[in-house]
Amino acid sequence: MRRVLSKKKVPVGFQDQVMIESYQAIESLIESVRRRRRRIRLARLALPLFIVIAAALSAAALLPSLQGAARMALRAALLCSMSLAAMAALVLAVVRRENLEAAALAIERANPWVNNALISAIQLVRAAAATGPAGAFSRALLDKHLESAAAMLPRLDLENSAPTQKLKVPAMVFSAVALAFLAMLSLRPERTRSGLAALLTEQWSMAADQAKTASLPLTTGDFTLHYTFPAYSGISAQTVAHTNGDIAALKGTAVTLETTALEPLSSASIITSTGARYAMSVAGGSALKAELVLSDPGTYYIEGVGAGGMRLAEPRSHHIVVDPDLDPLITMLTPVQDVEVAAEGSLPISYEAGDDFGLSEVALIYQQGGEDHKVIIRTEKESPRNRLQGDYEWLISEMGFKEGQRIPFYLQATDNDEVAGGKTGKSEMRVLEIFSARGQHRKLLARQDEFFNQMIDHLASHIGAALKDQPAADLAAGEKGLIEEGHKLLSSITDLQLALLDDEYADQLVLDTLLDMARRYSARLGEREKLLEDPARSAPDWAASVKSLRATYQGGLEKDILYFDKLIKKQRVEDLMAQADDLYQAQADLADLVAEYKKTGDPALLEKLRQTMSQLQEAFDNLMRRMAEMKKDLPEEFVNADAMKKASAMNVADQMEKLRKALADGDLDSAMAMAEQFLSQMGQWMAGMEEGASQFGQMMSGEDMQKLSEMSTQLDDLVKRQQEIEDGMRDIYQEALDRAQPKEPDGQAALGLDEKIQRMNDELLRAQSSLRRMTPSADGAKPTLNSINEKRNRAAIPYSYVRRGLSDLRGAMREADLNQALEQAEKIKEDLEQANRDATKFVQDENPGPKQARDEFEKASASSSRLMDEIQKDLENMDQAAAVRPDQSERGQLDELSRLQEAVRQDTQSVREGYDQLRQQVPSLPQDISGSLDQAALNMHDASGEMMLGDPARAQVPARDARMNLEQARKGLQQSMQQMAQSMMGSAARMGGGMPMGRGPGGRANDGEGGMLSGGKVQLPDEGAYQVPEQYREEILRAMKEDSPDAYKSLNHDYYERLVR
Amino acid sequence: MKDILMRATNIGRLRYGGGDTPVPGACQPCGRRPTRGSGSTSLVRSTTRTALLALIVWSLALSGRPASADEPSAEFMRTMNTARATLGRWDFHEADRLSRQLLDLAAKDGAGQALAKAHQFRASYCFFAGDYACARDEMQTFGDLSGSKELGLLDRSKKLAEVWQNAGESRSDHFIVRYLPGKDSVLAAPALETLERAYLALTGDFDIEPGDPVLVEIYPSFDAFQAATNLSPEALENSGTIAVCKYRRLMINTPRNLSRGYSYRDTLCHEFVHFLVYQKYGDGVPIWLHEGLAKFEEYRWRQEGGSRLSPGMKSLLASAIRQNEFITFDQMHPSFAYLKTPRQGQLAFAEVSTVVEYFVKTGGWKLVFALCDELRHNSDYRSAIRKVTGKPFDRFWADWVAFARGLGFKEIKGMEITALEIKKGDQGEDDDDEQVEESDLAQGDEWKYARLGDLLRDRGHFREASFEYGRALEIAPYSLRILNKAGRCYYLDQDYELALTPLYRAVELYPGYSTTYINLGRALYEMGRKQEAAEMLGKALDINPFNPIPYGYLIKIYEGKKDDSRVKRLEDDYRIITG
């Protein structure tokens, strides 16, 4: 990298660019040589260091062969040599740093022809920068010198300035030593590793070795080792004979060692490298035996007392290798990442754990309140297994976690190590976030806000367009833009609906409103689109039509905005009131405690009292905090209501402090008085707040609610009147029917019928005949002749029964007994259907031939069925014709009923119009009530017409349908009223809050009718009324049948899928 | 929420008198007829008369009985009666002297009861004179001596002594304005200016001088005002009383106590009229005439004289004339505060003000004074009117109706009866108009359009919002709030010219609403019509000097005019109200 002379370093007079560049070139070159020389020097220092280290490590392989002082001396020598070499290299590397001048001189030594030009250049430049006499020389001279020196640079021999020759020998030596070390490592790995371990980790103790050195050598041989492994390991005891005495086993293993000493001994012991001594039994002076339990790795040797008390010791130690028991491993298979679970839900966890010897326990550890909590989810102490896999259902609902809490957790496996104690392994940590339905609801409230803004922007676009006086072309373009915007709004409705389906606290009114909006906007946008595509656009009234449709659309949008505005306010207030749940609870608890204390005087209650006071204060503070957060979102009139204002005036903290002080001072009377006063104050405040909130629960004005109630009453009346019409008509019909008894069929009709019976009889004969002609098929399953005949006959016989029935029918007709004829016809039809079914099955199963017979059978059976239908219909017609013949008086009654029916129809239409008007104000009122009323009116019209024609039989069906439509409308209306009443009842109850009834002095009795219309027949919602998705599902299913935009269809589809699931 | 608004209107709530004198009947500002037509104080006055009668009977009974060791002497009682009457006449110098004399007499008699009563009277005197610490101490002495536990005056004195502990006072030649140091100090100078101007005009009109400087107290809270006037909180809340002339002083609420202030300068003048009428005619003038005079003269401090009814009142009167449905003088008795609705209150004021105007126009002030003089001796206002006008009452009434009809007042359908709003908590006057509330939406479609306008405006769609406000105004062209909403929306849309139309209409129809002046002032300022802007913003400050918005504009305007002294004054006031 080229070093650039910075402007700051340029001496006085170095403004000349040529001078600067010349000097920079010289300095750069010298600097590069200096760096190279430095690298070479460092390598020269490092190589001897590496040589020493490699040699020392190689020499360490000798250590296992040495004992005592020699061993320690070698260790010390090796470690010292390595340390000294390292220190020397470090010192030399730091001390012998070469400056720029030295580098220049080195270059000049390799290039004598330069004549000190480089060193002069450096020194002159430095002098030029100095003040005083040193710098008093010509800049021109310096310029010239630098220029000439720079010109020499390309010719310089730099290789000799920093020669690498000197590295050759050290590198070769290092290579040789390193190769030697590697060879040793590969040839005698154990020894080398042992030596290295001894060099680096062995303790600096000579006790055992000194002792050994003070003894005569003991010769042992033919070691037999009996291993008894720890019970938890499950490994069977093993015996290894003819070993060299090295021991290797699991920690805690009991080893019985047997060997034979050549020298006779009176006693013997095992001495370990840790200094432990194990006495050996000596049998026959040479058979030695001892037991030791493995705990630490190291070495041991045997020493004994020989003849004459001479101490003998093995000159060479035996190795003790202790195999460790590994930590268990555990993996959390599910969940695979952090999860969110509802407070009342559960979390399935699956895991897999393993250990080298066995697992005793799997536990779930979670952290809460800064502490770890353990839940044992599996124990295997009785029969530990090396590998475990399992599932666990963590019941979050039982843990008492609060919404919004984040709980870190992991799994922990413990092994069955009884020696060192159970070792544990941990899985990865996950975080469980307790799902907050309330939090979710708030997010969706924010989404509703966004949607609301979109509605307002959409309205602004319409008003903006209306304010412009546009020519037709612009009008069309503007209209297109508005329609596109409308579709986006529609899409947002869809998205919001879907999102709200996951909202536990979603307001049904919002869902209903959105559903209704989606329907209406879809239809109206469709109309507008149709008009936009109208080929007769140039027609003068086109613009007027566009504007008219726009105005209608805009009117609906405005109403929806006002209603949605109200809905959002309502939900905001409900949300706040839900926050007051804890406060209600704490207040009620405090009231109970005060009452109990007053009754019992039990001092044990005082501590509870203090705790409840803290809870109450915390709940109040939380509520206040929430109110402060929501202040901008809450309706202004709610925030400014007296009750809300009084919150700060109550100074809860101050009052609680006084109460605590009174309790601490033992002034219990004052404390109770204060508590009661406070509760009363708090109760009033909360009641006031609830009252303020209740007005936002009223999604209908009292006047509108009254109208709804009146409509319900009107519908009651209409159903009653319709029922009366129906009853009246039935009476007339019955009378006419009775008068017509016994029924006599019309002669002409009877002749026609007889002919049809005859034709049917012929067809039946033809069917029977064709069946009997059938033979086994050539490609069939080759049944025996007998078997097919049997089946064929069985298929044909029922037609004889049918023909006999026809004969009976003829008889009834001859006797003019129409009722009996009808019954007989019914029976014949059943028999015929059965006969056809059986015969067809035979044909299909057996596939008999010939084809002609099959075809003929099919035609005959179809024809007979058709004729049977005709006969039955004719009979019914004859029956009706015979039955309904109202006389003059009955005709008069029918006329009267017809007029009554018409009056009921008009009243029904009137109710429908009123309802439609109301729906414009309250879009969440269901549309299908209008549909039911419409249908009822249509049916009434039909019924009325039939009555006018004097046909009570035909009038009965539409009249009955009309009543059913009315009943359906009435039911829908009552459900709506219940829903509205529910919203008026105060949101707190639905949100899980609500003032506890009759709980202490601060409580407020709730009669359940707050906000209701006085005298209105509004029923309280029953249990089923809260199962809103049922109705909603019906709405969506119905909507699916109607033409709707794609986005809406997908909504329906998606929702339907969910329902089905 | 409308239910927190006081029902009476700005002027309609003005009230004088009260009924709490420690010596019944001793300090009523006016009216004497116990049976009819003597206004807010008449109820008390009847009680007063009964009490006085009882007192005299009791005194006579005492004088006829041998005095026990602990009972006051007859001389003491006579002096006490004289002292009470003196105090009732607002002759404070004499009352002071007599109270000392009573103390001496009681000491000389050595009667414990007498000493207690002497201290009680002394306390009353101190309370009347506005020395609440003295009143408190004297009442405590009275309580100690008498053992009485009924010490209402003690509680009131204690409270007021605490309220006024560090009171500030500003003086002029004829008035002393007492206020709480701090924000209310900005009221002192305008109050004194108003009162001196009123003094100049009204003392001439009524030909009477008050004598010693008149104490004016500006109450920092309704609570303190209630303690001072001894009106029950319910009465204050229901009647909307914000100012009272009583105990020879004027007591008003600071405009700070109301959300948007009130015309406190006119109110001071109104109360000063009550003061002069009472001082001149005692308690003989009935309520209808008292209020008529006060209403007729309440703008006197700023103009030559004559009634200046608001368009709302004119409309109400026009409507009443058309339907021949008036509030009778008897219905006005005993107090305007007891009228059931703000509408009735405003109509009553419109009636009595024009009655006075009728008197002045037909017979001059001479006729008015003659009537007042007659009423001092004649408790029947009907016969008094017949006597001074020569017309039977029915004829007089018919003539007045004809006169009022001749004034040409127009009935404006849809005019709102506005009411002043008591401020809750730290709520301040918003430069914004009020939000449309749920209760409004039920009133009619105009509020639905207004709400849509608000929603559009709040999201920056000003033109579109104006469109909705326009639709609202088509339905309710005289709605104060919608007019302001429309004006402000045009202002936000920087269409200042269009903003002027609804705002000028709002000013014309509802001259007591400070927010309109601010909106108008800002629009005019932006249009460069700074002189007019200054005028409007000044009017806003006359109603609510605690709204900081006008100050900024006015300072800029007067800086432009190099009017340094006014700039400094505005800056000082601004610092005080925002401090």
At B218-233, the pLDDT tens digits run: 999 988 998 998 877 7
> % helix / strand / coil in chain A, to the nearest 5?
65, 15, 20
Q: What six digits make up the tokens of B34?
A: 């116990």
Interchain CB distance below 8 Å, A701 and B455 = no
**Residue A93 confidence class, pLDDT cut points 50, 70, 90:** confident
Distances B503 to B435, B454, B496, B543 between C-alpha atoms, Å = 17, 17, 10, 17
Best-predicted range by mean pLDDT among A262-271, A699-708, A780-789, B306-315? A262-271
* Helix (H) / strand (E) containing B249: strand B249-253
- d(CA A450, CA B459) in angstroms, rounded, equals 12
What would the pLDDT profile of B435-448 be if each residue is shown by its tens digit? Answer: 787 778 878 899 99
Q: Residue B287: is its pLDDT beyond 50?
A: yes
Min mean pLDDT across A744-748, B157-161, B355-359 is at: A744-748
* Burial profile A816-825: b = 16 or more Cβ within 10 angstroms, e = fewer: bbbebbbebb
| Confidence band, pLDDT 50/70/90 cuts, at residue A743 | low
Nearest CA in chain A to B445: A559
Q: Which of A73-82, A978-987, B186-195 has the highest mean pLDDT?
A: B186-195
Residue B338 has pLDDT above 80, yes or no: no
Dist CA A541 CA B475 (whole Å): 29
Q: Using CA atoms, how far apart are residues A605 and A593, in angstroms rounded to an integer?
A: 7
CB contact under 8 A, A463 and B464: yes
pLDDT for the residue numbered B440:
82
Q: Which helix (H) or strand (E) holds B354?
A: helix B342-377
* Between B550 and A231, residue with greater pLDDT: B550
Query: Which range is most confident: B71-80, B130-139, B301-310?
Result: B130-139
Q: Which long-range contacts (CB under 8 A, 24 or more apart) does A116-121 make?
A: A117/A145, A117/A148, A117/A149, A117/A152, A118/A26, A118/A30, A118/A149, A120/A145, A120/A149, A121/A23, A121/A26, A121/A145, A121/A146, A121/A149
Over residues A463-486, mean pLDDT: 86
Q: Which helix (H) or strand (E) holds B389?
A: helix B381-389
pLDDT in tens, A795-846: 888 888 888 888 888 888 877 777 788 888 988 999 899 889 888 888 888 8
Q: Which residues of A615-646 are buried (b: 16+ CB within 10 A; e: fewer)?
A: bbbebbeebeeebeebeebbbbbbbbbbbbbb
**Mean pLDDT lowest among A113-122, A1019-1028, B32-41:** B32-41
Contacts of B467 in chain A (CB under 8 A): 463, 466-467
Q: What is the pLDDT of residue A881?
A: 66
Q: pLDDT per residue over A62-72, tens digit each?
A: 877 776 677 78
Q: Which of helix, strand or coil describes residue B240?
A: coil
* Torsion, CA B526, CA B528, CA B534, CA B540, rounded to 10: -20
How far, rounded to the nearest angstrom, does the alpha carbon of residue B578 sit from its chain's CA centroid? 26
Range with the largest mean pLDDT of B267-281, B294-308, B416-430: B267-281
Examine the pLDDT at A141 and tell me if it is beyond 70: yes
C-alpha pair distances (Å), B333 with each of A19, A943, B274, B377:
112, 69, 16, 19
Residue A332 tokens read as: 């959390």
Q: Residue B424 has what pLDDT?
A: 56
- 3-class DSSP string for B399-467: HHHHHHHHCCCCCCCCCCCCCCEECCCCCCCCCCCCCCCHHHHCCCHHHHHHHHHHHHHHCCCHHHHHH
Pairs of residues, one from chain A and one from chain B, whose beta carbons lie less than 8 Å apart: 62
Query: What's the confidence (pLDDT) of residue A954?
Result: 77
- Using the structure block, give the residue that is written with the tokens 């029969």: A383
CA distance A583 to chain B (A): 23
Nearest by Cα to A344 from A410, A406, A402, A393: A402
Contacts 24+ apart (CB under 8 A), B397-401: B399/B358, B399/B362, B400/B354, B400/B355, B400/B358, B401/B321
Q: Decide if B438 and A463 are in contact by the 8 Å CB cutoff.
A: no
- Tell me how far apart the alpha carbons of residues B531 and B324 are, in angstroms, rounded to a whole number: 44
What local confidence, expressed as pLDDT, does residue B145 receive?
A: 84
Range scoring the smallest mean pLDDT among A542-556, A592-606, A776-790, A1040-1054: A1040-1054
Judged by a CB distance cut-off of 8 A, whether residue A637 touches chain B is: yes
Question: What is the H or E stretch that residue A358 is in?
Answer: strand A346-368
| A467 with B463: Cβ contact below 8 A | yes
Please give the Cα distance from A884 to A890 (Å, whole number): 11
Taking CB atoms within 8 Å and a gap of at least 24, the contacts of B308-311 are: B309/B349, B309/B350, B309/B353, B309/B354, B309/B409, B310/B11, B310/B509, B310/B510, B310/B511, B310/B512, B311/B412, B311/B415, B311/B508, B311/B509, B311/B510, B311/B511
How much is the pLDDT for A1029? Answer: 41
Mean pLDDT confidence for B376-381: 88
Residue B535 has pLDDT above 80, yes or no: yes
Q: Which of B250, B189, B258 is CA-nearest to residue B221?
A: B258
- Quote the CA–CA distance of A250 and A418 in Å, as a whole number: 12
pLDDT at residue A1011, as a whole number: 29
The length of chain A is: 1061
- Nearest-angstrom CA–CA distance, A294 and A924: 82
Find out whether A800 and A768 touch, Cβ atoms under 8 Å.
yes
Measured in angstroms, the CA of B27 and the nearest CA of chain A are apart by 36
A contact residues 644-683, partner B, Cβ 8 Å cutoff: 645, 648
- B4–A642 C-beta distance less than 8 A: yes
Q: Would the CB atoms of A641 and B456 count as touching at under 8 Å?
A: no
What is the SS3 assignment for A376? Answer: strand
Helix/strand/coil (H, E, C) string of A122-164? HHHHHHHHCCCHHHCCCHHHHHHHHHHHHHHHHHCCCCCCCCC
Query: How high is the pLDDT of residue B353?
Result: 94
Most A CBs within 10 Å: which of B1, B5, B481, as the mutation test of the A interface? Answer: B1
Per mean pLDDT, which of A402-411, A550-559, A635-644, B19-28 is the most reliable?
A: A550-559
- Compute the nearest-CA separation of A460 from chain B (Å): 6
Residue-wise pLDDT tens digits, A650-709: 677 787 888 888 877 777 778 778 887 777 877 777 777 777 776 666 666 677 778 888
A697 touches chain B (CB under 8 A): no
Q: pLDDT > 90: what percent of chain B?
A: 60
Backbone angles phi, psi at A356, to 5 degrees: -70, -30
Give the whole-angstrom CA distance, residue A391 versus residue B554: 77
What is the predicted pLDDT for the residue at A645? 60
Q: Is the pLDDT of residue B13 over 50?
A: no
Residue ranges of alpha helices (H) inside A746-784 are: 747-772
pLDDT at A28 over 80: yes
Q: What is the ipTM of this complex?
A: 0.76
> Chain A residues with CB inside 8 Å of B425's CB?
645, 648
- Kindly report which listed range (A630-634, B479-483, B559-563) carries the lowest average pLDDT score: A630-634
Task: Please give the Cα distance from A774 to B244 (Å, whole number).
Answer: 121
Positive or negative, the CA dihedral A984, A988, A989, A992 is: positive
CA distance A882 to A746: 8
Q: Given this model, what pLDDT does residue A284 score?
A: 87
Most A-contacting residue of B461, B462, B493 (CB-CB within 10 A), to test interface: B461
Per-residue pLDDT tens digits for A984-1015:
544 433 333 333 333 333 333 233 333 222 23
- Mean pLDDT check: name the lowest of A363-367, A870-874, B109-113: B109-113
Q: What is the pLDDT of residue B270?
A: 94
> Which tops the pLDDT comparison, B414 or B326?
B326
Instruction: For residue range A878-887, list pLDDT tens digits in order.
Output: 776 665 567 8
Q: Which residue has the tokens 């699991």?
A: A250
Q: Distance of alpha carbon A854 from its chain centroid, rounded?
A: 63
Check pLDDT > 50 for residue A197: yes
List pLDDT tens digits, range A925-944.
887 888 899 999 999 998 99
Cα A260 to its chain centre, rounded Å, is 72
Q: Is A504 touching B (CB cutoff 8 A)?
A: no
Q: What is the identity of the amino acid at B63?
A: S
> What is the amino acid identity at position A712?
S
Q: Which span out of A310-324, A490-504, B314-328 was modeled with the highest average pLDDT?
A: B314-328
Q: Which residues of B touch A467 (CB under 8 A)?
A: 463-464, 467
> Residue B493 pLDDT > 90, yes or no?
yes
CB contact under 8 A, B424 and A640: yes
Cα–Cα distance, A136 to A146 (Å, whole number): 17
Confidence band of B320 (pLDDT split at 50, 70, 90):
very high
Residue B277 and residue B206 in contact, taking contact as beta carbons nearer than 8 Å: yes
A938–B contact, CB cutoff 8 A: no
User: Taking CA atoms, what residue in A is nearest to B4?
Assistant: A642
In chain A, what is the straight-line distance between the N-terminal and C-terminal CA atoms, in Å? 70
pLDDT surpassing 60 at residue A10 = no
Confirm if A451 and A264 have CB atoms less than 8 A apart.
no
Res. A786: pLDDT tops 70: no
Q: Considering chain A, what is the average pLDDT of its residues?
A: 79
Residues in chain A closer than 8 A to B461 (CB atoms)? 456-457, 460, 463-464
pLDDT averaged over every residue in chain B: 83
Tokens 């009234």 sit at which residue? Answer: A541
Check pLDDT > 90 for residue A421: no
Q: For residue A564, which of A454, A706, A641, A639 has the smallest C-alpha distance?
A: A454
Kindly report which listed range (A321-335, A496-510, A764-778, B27-41) carries the lowest average pLDDT score: B27-41
pLDDT per position as a tens digit, B183-208: 999 999 999 999 999 999 999 889 99
Do A635 and B464 make contact, defined as CB atoms within 8 angstroms?
no
Interface of A with B in 451-470 (CB under 8 A): 453, 456-457, 459-460, 463-464, 466-467
* For testing contact with chain B, the best of A450, A454, A559, A565 (most B CBs within 10 A): A565
pLDDT of residue A259: 93
Write down the pLDDT at residue A698: 63
Do the chains contact at A558 and B1, CB–CB below 8 Å? no
Beta bridge partners, A365, equal: A374, A410
3-class DSSP assignment, residue A105? helix
Please indicate if any CB of chain B lies within 8 Å of the CB of A11: no
Judged by phi (left if over 0) then psi (alpha if -120 to 50, else beta), residue B247 lies in left
Residue B35: what pLDDT?
27
Which chain A residues are within 8 Å of B440, Cβ to Cβ? Answer: none
Identify residues of B whose CB sits under 8 angstroms from chain A CBs. 1, 4, 424-425, 427, 435, 437-439, 441-442, 448, 451-452, 455-456, 459, 461, 463-464, 467-468
DSSP string, A270-289: EEETTS-EEEEEEETTTEEE
Query: Which tops the pLDDT comparison, A279 or A791?
Result: A279
**Residue B176 DSSP SS3:** strand
Residues in chain B: 579
CA distance B447 to chain A (A): 11
Q: Give the closest of B427, B437, B451 to A637, CB-based.
A: B437
Residue A165: per-residue pLDDT:
81
Q: Which residues contact A387 (CB under 8 A, 6 or more apart)?
A: A352, A353, A354, A359
Which pLDDT does position B170 carry in this prediction?
Answer: 95
What is the helix, strand, coil percentage profile of chain B, to 5? 65, 5, 30
Residue A532 has pLDDT above 90, yes or no: no
- Give mean pLDDT, residues B554-573: 94
Q: Of A531-545, A846-860, A910-924, give the lowest mean pLDDT range.
A: A531-545
With CB atoms and an 8 Å threshold, state whether A637 touches B1.
yes
How far is residue A700 from each of residues A445, A581, A704, A1015, B454, measured CA to CA in Å?
Answer: 21, 26, 6, 16, 21
Is residue A204 scored above 80 in pLDDT?
Answer: no
Helix (H) or strand (E) holding B57: helix B42-64
pLDDT for residue B89: 86
Question: What's the pLDDT at A69?
Answer: 73
Q: Is the Cα torsion angle A117, A121, A123, A128 positive or negative in sign?
A: positive
Q: What's the whole-number mean pLDDT along residues A80-109? A: 84
- Tell me which chain A residues have a C-beta less than 8 angstroms from the C-beta of B452: 459, 558, 561-562
What integer pLDDT is reported at residue A697 of this predicted model?
60
